[in-house]
A and B are shown apart, each in its own frame.
Chain A
Amino acid sequence: MDLSTLAKALAIGLGAIGPGIGIGFIGAKAMEAIGRNPEATNKILVPMLLACAFAEAIAIYALVIAFSIK
């Protein structure tokens, strides 16, 4: 029985749960900070994008594994 498709699906599926939640938290805190101080939006934006990219990188690791499973 060929389980490789299931393996690929599980790899990316489970691997995307954590980063999804993480990016949600980052966005929520950024929204909160902007709501408290709308003038600081530009100062908050760049560190938020940076943190999002770090969290997303974990999902990308899972995606690379999913691609490399034959």
Chain B
Amino acid sequence: MQGTANVKQEISHETTLFAEPIFHFGNFTLTNALLSSWLAVLIIISLAVILRKKLREVPSTLQNIFEIVLEGALDLCDQVTNSRALSLKVFPIAITVFFFVLINNWLGLLPIGGLGILEHGEHGLSFVPFLRGGTADVNTTIALAIMAVIGANLFGIFSIGIWKIFNKYVNLKALGQVFTKIKKDKTVIIVAPITFFVGLLELVGEFAKIASLSFRLFGNVFAGEVLLASMAALFAYILPVPFLFLEILVGVIQALIFSMLLVVYFTISATDHDEHSGHEAHKEHSQIEKESIISSH
């Protein structure tokens, strides 16, 4: 791996598995991945403001592009949620996370990573870049993953109430059924403790979701950066080009997967697993299927 020397100074950062600190505001350390994340936020905000100012009935080019992207994304969201109303509720956060992750992934590919400082370190001079893709830092991805999972649970609490969400993990309803159903169905005395234990396992599953979301995104982006650095070290001229295209594609796919999983988690949280909502979801699903078939012709 390139540039893995450790440098400690006032205004510099190092390149390792973890992002390097650039600056210290007293106790708060500014790392280069954090700076890239702020740059991505700045890009998103300025795009949003520009689009809002130039909003017309007959769209301009920029507005047209975003309308196409948003329409496609909303349809994809509908396929997951099976309900346009739920889609519209979840869509803002999903598309924001999508754009944030996408721009962060792509910022790591730009040659602006070459701006940096040479610092004196333990092994002599070492190069510390100012900008490094935000998602190439495990802190960013873990933060996004925690936000996604906790957000999904909060969304569930707001949608179907805190008692049902609490019952998903600590299944007191199943334990209560031991007393109410014991006369009708003798096997419930064995089934109910198992259901209770499965509910506790769901809690472990939430932490597994956090880990898998964060490490999938971090691993793909970080491995891509290391790959590009190795290819450039091998032969700097034509060789990195196909890998750059691969990394562009990987950036899009990983952003898409992250936001789609976010929509899935929100939908699962907000779905009431009673028969009533099951029928409703089925009806709306076939409705949306018909609409999409009609629109695709």
Contacts and interface: CB of A to CB of B under 8 A. Distances in A.
Contact of A53 (B1, B17, B253): B253
B253 A61 contact: no
A64 B218 contact: yes
Contact of B260 (A50, A61, A64): A50
A68 B222 CA distance: 12
Contacts of A49: 253
Interface in A14-70: 49-50, 53-54, 56-57, 60-61, 63-64, 67-68
Contacts of A57: 212, 215-216, 219-220
Interface string B1-45: 100000000000000010000000000000000000000000000
Task: Say whether chain A's binding surface is mostly helix, strand, loop, or mixed.
Answer: helix
B254 interface: yes
Interface string B200-227: 0000000000001001101110110010
A56 B221 CA distance: 13
Contacts of B219: 57, 60-61, 63-64
Contacts of B216: 53, 57, 60-61
A64 B215 contact: yes
A57 B226 CA distance: 17
Contacts of B253: 49, 53
A29 to B, nearest CB: 19
Nearest to B1: A67
A58 B257 CA distance: 14
Given A67-B17, A68-B17, A61 B257 contact: no
Give the interface centre of B218, B226, B253 by most chain A CB atoms within 10 Å: B253
Contact of A63 (B223, B256, B260): B223
A60 B215 contact: yes
Contacts of A63: 219, 223
Contacts of B1: 67
A67 B212 CA distance: 17
A11 B216 CA distance: 17
A51 to B, nearest CB: 10
Contacts of A67: 1, 17, 222-223, 226
5 contacts: A50-B257, A57-B219, A60-B216, A60-B219, A64-B222
Given A53-B257, A60-B216, A61-B215, 7 more contacts: A56-B220, A61-B212, A64-B222, A67-B222, A67-B223, A67-B226, A68-B17
